[in-house]
Amino acid sequence: MSEVKLFSGTNSKLLAEKIAKHYGKKLGDLTMSKFSDGEMSPSFNESVRGCTVFLIQSTNPSADNLLELCLMIDAAKRASAYKVCAVIPYYGYARQDRKDRPRVSIAAKLIANILTSAGADRIMTCDLHAGQIQGFFDIPLDHLNGSAIFVPYLERLDAKNLIFAAPDVGGVARARSYAKHFEVEMVVCDKHRKRANEVASMQVIGDVEGKDVVLVDDLVDTAGTLCKAAQIIMDKGALSVRAIATHGVLSGKAYENIENSVLKELVITDTIPVKQISEKIKVISVSDLFAKAIHAVTGNTSISALFI
């Protein structure tokens, strides 16, 4: 077996350090130099020849995060690494996974092509916006599930009137999997958008009266949909509303929207660095989940034990 080495991009340094600690290794020494115009130049300060290299970097905008990861992959391949695995806790541009209107890009497929062309031998990620994105790759992809950390958290709440809700029709399968595990009912918030990040109308399909509702989503961007869904659910007679979402993108007025909402709490993970502290936002780490997945990959064992 080849030696395993873990390195981090600048965007995911804190998470990478936690992953390395759980894995039982220190992060490798890598320098990301920049020219005065912003051009990036990565260099490994230790040998990776013949090593299985894991490069940890979320690719949320700006595009520099993606380009930095590609440059690291290229540098590792040119340094004669045996295998290069791109560990992407948050896979950016995943929302553009199909042509939903004429003359648009399928960005998720383009990113898959870019990563493969850069030289990645394997991809490891968590809670893709759409599961079918796995099919965009012709190399192995390990798709981890955030339920492995959210389910234990929800079990500790010991809510007696628990019910799950999908904030839109696209999240029904995700919410149903939680409802099935806890053996409770689920409801759906049916929304109509005028344009991206702007909800025109929404209605709740199902009964939430007297229930403690958990909204389930893969990511929170401006939190507009989430906060509107929470308000409508409370108006329908729910006792409380909290939300769980793997990726806290939290752009625009997200923090303001969450603070002013009826949400009891928003539970996210550290796949994306949190920009500011909020009493309503709780962050739990995916570091142990990724460390166990890396152990499974390097030990040629199944990762199915990581799924709930």
Each domain of the chain, given as residue ranges in start order, spans 4-145+288-306, 147-285
- The residue behind tokens 């025109």 is 200
- Residue 237: other Cβ atoms inside 10 A: 11
DSSP H or E stretch at residue 22 = helix 13-23
Lookup: tokens for 306:
């990581």
**Cα–Cα–Cα angle for 230, 258, 245, nearest 5°?**
70
Lookup: tokens for 221:
């961007």
Q: How many CA atoms are closer than 13 Å to the CA of 299, on its beta-carbon side?
A: 10
Fold of 4-145+288-306: Rossmann fold (3.40.50)
**pLDDT, tens digit (0-9, with 9 covering 90-100), for 219-250:** 999 998 899 999 999 999 999 999 999 999 99
Cα 192 to Cα 199: distance, rounded to the nearest angstrom:
6
One of 5, 191, 211, 292 is an active-site residue; which one? 191
Lookup: tokens for 125:
């990620």
Report how far Cα 98 is from the mean position of its chain's Cα atoms. 19
**pLDDT, tens digit (0-9, with 9 covering 90-100), for 81-109:** 999 999 999 999 999 999 989 999 999 99
Reported in sequence order, the residue ranges of the chain that DSSP labels E, i.e. its strands, are 4-8, 30-34, 40-44, 52-56, 83-88, 122-126, 141-144, 162-166, 186-195, 198-205, 212-220, 240-248, 266-269, 281-284
Cα 54 to Cα 63: distance, rounded to the nearest angstrom:
20
Cα 308 to Cα 242: distance, rounded to the nearest angstrom:
21
DSSP H or E stretch at residue 254 = helix 254-259
Cα 261 to Cα 227: distance, rounded to the nearest angstrom:
6
**pLDDT, tens digit (0-9, with 9 covering 90-100), for 118-132:** 999 999 999 999 999
Q: Which residues contact 300 (CB under 8 A, 6 or more apart)?
A: none
How would residue 202 be classed by pLDDT, with cut points 50, 70 and 90? Answer: confident
CB 7 within 8 A of CB 56: yes
Task: Read off φ and ψ for residue 67, nearest 5 degrees.
Answer: -65, -40
- The residue behind tokens 């009137």 is 161
**Is 191 among the residues known to form the active site?**
yes
Pick from 68, 71, 49: which is nearest to 59 by CA?
68
Pick from 86, 84, 104: which is nearest to 95 by CA?
104
Instruction: State which amino acid sits at residue 74.
Output: D
CA distances from 230 to 180, 204, 211, 279, 288 (A): 22, 10, 12, 17, 30
Cα 141 to Cα 81: distance, rounded to the nearest angstrom:
19
Cα 300 to Cα 107: distance, rounded to the nearest angstrom:
31
Task: Identify the DSSP state of 26.
Answer: P
How would residue 194 be classed by pLDDT, with cut points 50, 70 and 90? Answer: low
**pLDDT at 192 > cutoff 70:** no
- The residue behind tokens 């290229």 is 74
Fold agreement between 4-145+288-306 and 147-285:
yes
Task: Identify the DSSP state of 88.
Answer: E
CATH code of 147-285, in short, is 3.40.50.2020
Rounded to 5, what percent of the chain is helix, strand, coil?
35, 25, 40
**pLDDT at 196 > cutoff 70:** no
Cα 97 to Cα 229: distance, rounded to the nearest angstrom:
24
Mean pLDDT computed over every residue of the chain: 94
**pLDDT, tens digit (0-9, with 9 covering 90-100), for 139-180:** 999 999 999 999 999 999 877 899 999 988 888 999 999 999
